[in-house]
Amino acid sequence: MRGPHNIWRLIRTGATFERTGAMSVALEAMEAPPRLRLVARIIGWPFKWLGYKGDPALPPVTRAITALGPAYIKFGQVLSTRPDVVGEDLANQLRVLQDKLPPFDTALAKAAIAEELGRPVTEIFADFSEPVAAASIAQVHSAVLADTGETVAVKVLRPGIERAFRRDLDAFHFAAGMIERLLPGTRRLKPTEVVSHFEQTVLGELDLRLEAAAASQFAANTAQDAHFRVPAPVWALSGRTVMVMDWAEGTAMGDVPALRAAGHDLVALSERVLQLFLSHALRDGYFHADMHQGNLKVAANGDVIAYDFGIMGQIDEYTRRVYAEILMGFIRRDYRRVAEVHFEAGYVPADRDVNAFALALRAVGEPIFGMNATQISMAKLLAYLFEVTERFGMQTRTELILLQRTMVVVEGVSRSLNPAMNMWEVARPVVETYIRENLGPRAALRDLKRTALVLGHFGPRMPALLQELIERRVNGPAPTPEPERRRTGWLALGGIAAFALGLIAAQVL
């Protein structure tokens, strides 16, 4: 229920950050203005005693986030990939949230498996380990299948996790609604839609059958990708609360010293991660949307292994083309074209000045080209980008949230391996290949061929439509309202013309 009782939940959120000392640490890491830090302390201090205590053994911010619950942990996982935004120390502290949270009892996991699969664990597995990884929603055990001797990963949902998430999401919905009512200027950011999108994404993670399906689809899409692997699900042993997959053997992507000691080329790895993500997003329109270090390993031969497919992103072909043109514009430093694409796609209101917008984009892009990546303050850059979106009335595009979020995460993962990485140069070959194959004359002909194939389904009806149109023109129309008569005539003519064009394109191809 999204009622005023959520005020209590939000107060406790602020109070928890104040009680654990996370408030000042987080604001300092984000380079917040001193005035904002003072205001936060003044507001938070009277309610400090209401906050959760958390685990005193953890650093302040990690302590606060883990005490508040799974939805907050999800946000912390994103920040853990961005040392250039929150600082190296805080990012390292937050990486605990990726796969090193306190696990729940193994006996509870075995009971959940037996209930889901209808058989005792000892009958299914010859060996079943203690938890090897634990995150916000589930934990993972290593096991050996009794019938084949194959080593597998067994993922089990945390008990009561859905109820905990719904409680947090309820408070988020309430907060978003209050923000929109009290601060009308924030409506362009669509807080309520953003929270709804987050809710749909997270609740999808709570059905492991969907994750198994996502893993299967992703594996099929990427089967030909060099140096990339996706563990296959074991369908017979997967259900709503339990999923069994092939075991992924490798070094954790977040363990940079271990990767270096194993002899892996960190520069090549950083480029591979970013290019793989862009290939999946642009080529397939289907990408892993939770690619932090806790969900990536590196095999002994250098292959990148991805797992945990609870959050997958999907974008349509038109959006992919817009996204590719924007990226290519930045790569070529053609800010005028980047601005034009934003206007053409409707991302910026038509009444704004395209030249002024291009100039603002130049102020965003040039620092990235003009300085070494280690010298760029991403926190300041993102703050300026937010100012630009506000100045030009850009509204949040909920269909792009996962794409933008994942881009931020993946770039952060790549820079953790190679802090001097230039994102634009690494992205160039992937984006250029996509544009060459999807935005040129060959792509236009391919689109016409698709149109012909679709219209071909209506081929048997075309003679009747044409005859009806001619009879109406010769004998006069039936007593149909004028707007409807015009619409029908133009639809028929348009259909015939499009069909003819499609046939011509098919012949050409």
Q: Do 68 and 32 meet the contact criterion of CB atoms below 8 Å apart?
A: no
Contacts with 356 (C-beta within 8 Å, 6 or more apart), sequence order: 392
290 is known as an active-site residue: yes
Q: Is 265 helix (H, G, I), strand (E, B) or coil?
A: coil
End-to-end CA distance of the chain: 57
Q: How far, in Å, CA of 328 to CA of 457, rounded? A: 37
Scan for tokens 């004998």, then name that residue: 475
Q: What is the dihedral of CA 488, 493, 495, 500, to 10 degrees?
A: 170
Contacts with 51 (C-beta within 8 Å, 6 or more apart), sequence order: 12, 14, 15, 16, 17, 18, 19, 20, 64
Q: Do 455 and 495 meet the contact criterion of CB atoms below 8 Å apart?
A: yes
Return the structure tokens found at 255: 């363990």
Scan for tokens 């005193």, then name that residue: 56
Q: Which of 99, 170, 290, 308 is catalytic?
A: 290
Q: Do 435 and 423 meet the contact criterion of CB atoms below 8 Å apart?
A: no
Burial status of residue 148 (CB atoms within 10 A of its CB: 0-12, 13-18, 19 or more): exposed
Q: Quote the Cα angle for 113-118-120, to 5°.
A: 60
Cα 290 to chain centroid distance, Å, stands at 6
Q: Do 89 and 106 meet the contact criterion of CB atoms below 8 Å apart?
A: no
Handedness of CA 25, 31, 34, 38 (dihedral sign): negative
Scan for tokens 């013309």, then name that residue: 497
What's phi and psi for 304, nearest 5 deg? -85, 125
Q: Do 329 and 335 meet the contact criterion of CB atoms below 8 Å apart?
A: yes
Output Rg (C-alpha) for the chain, integer angstroms: 27
Task: Write the CA distances from 29 to 84, 85, 152, 385, integer angstroms.
Answer: 10, 8, 40, 19
Residues with a known catalytic role: 290
